[in-house]
A and B are shown apart, each in its own frame.
Chain A
Amino acid sequence: MSPQPAVIADGLVKHYKTVKAIDGVSLEVPEGTVLGVLGPNGAGKTTTVRVLTTLIRPDAGHAFVAGADVIKQPQEVRRRIGVSGQYAAVDEYLTGYENLEMVGRLYHLPRREAKARARELLRQFRLEDAADRPAKGYSGGMRRRLDLAGALVARPPVIFLDEPTTGLDPRSRGDMWEVIADLVSGGTSVLLTTQYLEEADRLADDIVVVDHGTVIAHGTADQLKDEVGGERLEVTVADGARLDDARRLLERVGHGDADITEHTRRVSVAVRAGTRSLIEGVRLLDEAGVEVKDIGIRRPTLDDAFLALTGHRAEDDEQEAAS
């Protein structure tokens, strides 16, 4: 028997007066894996997390976390999860140490254990020097790290990270990625929401793409990229007059019509055989005497996948929301 998934959501619905925040979200996080929930702002990522972490009750659907029913046994769920949110949930008047000790006490760890665990996490998250300063004076990155540490206090088997790096500078983001990667290697199951495709690509085993409150795609990063059309052989020719020749030759290697971009003197075609297609392409072009400036297999990015799936880029919405 395969172990039960760490998180199961089945047809979750949450409607507000005029907005369908989520409209039938189903997903699974197999034990010990990371699921990336990818989508633009307002897609329903945060609402999904809030339902799964018992913060809001869904209008319809079922969800189980670490074997406990989110709706019927919220207190059981809370014992087994750690949550780190988009808005760092730390008490700014308390020091880093006091924050973590308080969280430990509220998980009902014995006093000594709560204290020891707080010190241990502060060390692990490189907050030792700031441990006894009120969190009010922490930088954004430090607050996020403290918040994430708070999620780990009780060593929960399932962790929810809601946009853990949104608004962080690139360095702090890199730091967070390292911490999360460590976490996962320790066997914790993670559900991670993000609007950064790079983040999902890097951290997640599986990805679901959410838009307008529903899951519109599901798979590994590679599968999603393949879904958009897979690999393309891309050639830049030296002489613009030979573009048409190049196109004819490439169509013999790949399948379907080749695309031409005249001003960059670039031809591309979908291919199936990867490196073999590349070698064949090089041979044909060489035999025909077409001088090549650049040639290569290009894999679609998650950005391409996102664009193809939703019709808009992931980060457009963020800019709209910010303006």
Chain B
Amino acid sequence: MSTFFADGMTIARRNLIKIKRVPDLLIFATLQPIMFVLLFGFVFGSLAGDGDAAGYREFMMAGIFAQTIIFGATITGAGMAEDMQKGVIDRFRTLPMHPGAVLFGRTLADVANNLLVLVVMSLTGLAVGWRLRDGAVNALIAYGLMLLFAYAFSWVMAFIGLKVRAPEIVNNAAFMVIFPATFIADTFVPGRSLPGVLKTISGWNPVSSITLVAREHFGNLFALQPPGTSRGQLEAATKYTWALQHAELYTLIWIVVMLAVFVPLSIRAYSRAVGK
């Protein structure tokens, strides 16, 4: 177990050095969230919220945070797929290192990436009027939980990365799944106003629960308050499923389940990927 952490740190360092050597990756990883905040905030904002564009921007920030960190996990998957094609993996697999270390190091390095993205997005959000209205502690809880969720999800993507034949496929496959998963959720349009089946999906979608956790801890839950509804009514309408009523717990359950399932699955896939 100790080699799992020590070797993982060695690999994480290697991945961070790569980011330093190929800064283009970092530049696009930070420009993209800026673009999303501005694009969604002003394009959708002009239409949504009954003319309350500023309110909409505050509402959707939590959604964009969730979407961005989830998309960020594809970097883990693509990076893993790319690694598996390189000769250096053969070197790793003949060294007496822990079989999970390459995965652990990769996911760890991507936390650094996510951290940076969260900072950049927060600054952009603040620039367009978004505010943290529920204190620093709650904000930290929101950030912490988002990072944890992203970390757990990066193991899911690492598994996919190990199973595909080429790194490009990770991005395509991820797009097909993540795009709907982050739109049929309480992210850009309030989940409560979605029609029929979509509303049910959104109500149980973990993307909704992590978004709601962030929105609530940022104090943005009432940013978009329809005229004539009280805060109590709005909160009740927003939390229309058990998952949304217990958003923290529900999110934690997902984090634990994703880790419990995909850490061992990915390590096994890694051990077997070349060992055919």
Chain A residues at the B interface, C-beta cutoff of 8 Å: 16, 53-57, 75, 78-79, 81, 83, 85, 87-94, 98, 102-103, 105-108, 134, 147, 150
Contact = CB atoms under 8 A, between A and B. Distances in A.
A88 B89 CA distance: 11
Contacts of B97: 106
A150 B96 contact: no
Interface in B1-40: 3, 6-7, 10, 13-14, 17-18, 21-22
25 contacts: A53-B94, A54-B93, A55-B93, A55-B274, A55-B275, A56-B276, A57-B275, A78-B94, A78-B95, A87-B87, A89-B91, A91-B86, A93-B17, A94-B14, A94-B17, A98-B14, A98-B17, A102-B10, A102-B13, A102-B14, A103-B95, A105-B6, A106-B101, A107-B96, A147-B91
B88 interface: yes
A134 B96 contact: no
B54 to A, nearest CB: 43
Interface residues of B, number: 26
Given A55-B274, A56-B275, A83-B91, A93 B96 contact: no
Interface string B75-101: 000000000001111111111110001
Given A75-B96, A105-B6, 17 more contacts: A53-B94, A55-B94, A56-B274, A56-B275, A56-B276, A87-B87, A90-B87, A91-B14, A91-B86, A91-B88, A93-B17, A98-B14, A102-B10, A106-B95, A106-B96, A107-B95, A134-B21
A75 B95 CA distance: 8
Question: Chain A CB within 10 Å — which of B22, B93, B275, B276 has the most?
Answer: B93
Dominant secondary structure at the A interface: loop
B90 A55 contact: yes
Contacts of B274: 55-56
Q: Label chain B's interface by main secondary structure.
A: helix
Q: What 9 pairs across the A-B complex have the smallest Cβ distances?
A: A89-B91, A89-B87, A78-B96, A93-B18, A87-B87, A79-B96, A83-B94, A106-B95, A106-B97
A63 B8 CA distance: 30
Most-contacted residue by chain B among A87, A106, A150 (CB, 10 A): A106
Nearest to B15: A93
A134 B94 CA distance: 23
Contacts of B88: 89-91
A239 to B, nearest CB: 60
A74 to B, nearest CB: 9
Contacts of B86: 91-92
A91 B18 CA distance: 9
A55 B64 CA distance: 43
Contacts of A54: 93-94
A253 B88 CA distance: 59
Contacts of B89: 89
A105 B96 contact: no
Nearest to A135: B88
Contacts of B90: 55, 83, 85, 87, 89
Contacts of B6: 105, 108
A260 to B, nearest CB: 52
B225 to A, nearest CB: 50
Nearest to B276: A56
A83 B6 CA distance: 22
A81 B94 contact: yes
With a 10 A CB-CB cut-off, give which of A54, A85, A87, A108 has the most chain B CB atoms. A108
A183 to B, nearest CB: 17
A94 B20 CA distance: 10
A107 to B, nearest CB: 6
A184 to B, nearest CB: 20
Among A83, A91, A94, which residue has the most Cβ atoms of chain B within 10 A?
A: A91
Question: For B22, B93, B96, which residue has the most chain A Cβ atoms within 10 angstroms?
Answer: B96
B96 to A, nearest CB: 4
Contact of A88 (B7, B13, B87, B93): B87
